[in-house]
Amino acid sequence: MSENLVDRKSERGFSLIELIVVLVILALLAAVVAPRIMDKLAKSKDKIAKIQIAEFESALQMFSFDMARYPTSAEGLEALVQNPGVNDSWRGPYLGKALPLDPWDRPYAYRYPGLHGDFDIFSLGADGAEGGDDDICSWK
């Protein structure tokens, strides 16, 4: 009979206190690791936006070479994927795919003539407001 009692104790599983201790340890690990992961994610989005802006700059140079001008602010970056008018000089699309959104799912802003160069391309960043520290710009 004592053998049967030992078998039952080994089959009981975890006590409530053991489960709480495990959950506390997992919560502490999550509290330490989560901020680092979020920081890496934010930096990754910044890098993606910088790469996309560089692609826009290259495409704008090709557009300018063919059309002898940059797209107007009214035509916007859409002129890189769709002919902005009846013009035989347009040899696009100048981007391989459709016009991408920034990593925060908003369209990139384009201004011609630019305030900081021939043209300005920028993402408003995570806050969605122009002029913040999180803006990703073609001139920085």
Residue 73 lies in a domain: yes
Q: What pLDDT is stored for residue 28 in this prediction?
A: 87
Q: What is the Cα–Cα distance from 102 to 127, expressed in whole angstroms?
A: 12
Residue 82 lies in a domain: yes
Q: What is the Cα–Cα distance from 77 to 97, expressed in whole angstroms?
A: 13
Q: What pLDDT is stored for residue 14 in this prediction?
A: 76
The CA-based angle 94-99-105, given to 5 degrees, is 155
- Expressed as residue numbers, the domain containing 75 is 15-137
Residue 5 lies in a domain: no
- CATH code of the domain containing 50: 3.30.700.10
Residue 10 lies in a domain: no
Residue 30 lies in a domain: yes
With H, G, I as helix, E, B as strand and everything else as coil, classify residue 119: coil
Q: Amino acid identity, residue 82?
A: Q
Q: What is the Cα–Cα distance from 104 to 29, expressed in whole angstroms?
A: 28
**Is pLDDT above 90 for 120?**
yes
Residue 3 lies in a domain: no
Q: What pLDDT is stored for residue 12 in this prediction?
A: 65
Q: How many domains does the chain fold into? A: 1
What is the DSSP-derived secondary structure letter of residue 1? Answer: -
**Is pLDDT above 70 for 93?**
yes
Residue 6 lies in a domain: no
Structure confidence by residue, pLDDT tens digits, 43-86: 788 899 999 999 999 999 999 999 999 999 999 999 999 998 87
Residue 1 lies in a domain: no
Q: What is the Cα–Cα distance from 21 to 34, expressed in whole angstroms?
A: 20
> Could you tell me the two tokens for 46?
């910044």
Q: What is the mean pLDDT of residues 22-35?
A: 85
**Is pLDDT above 90 for 32?**
no
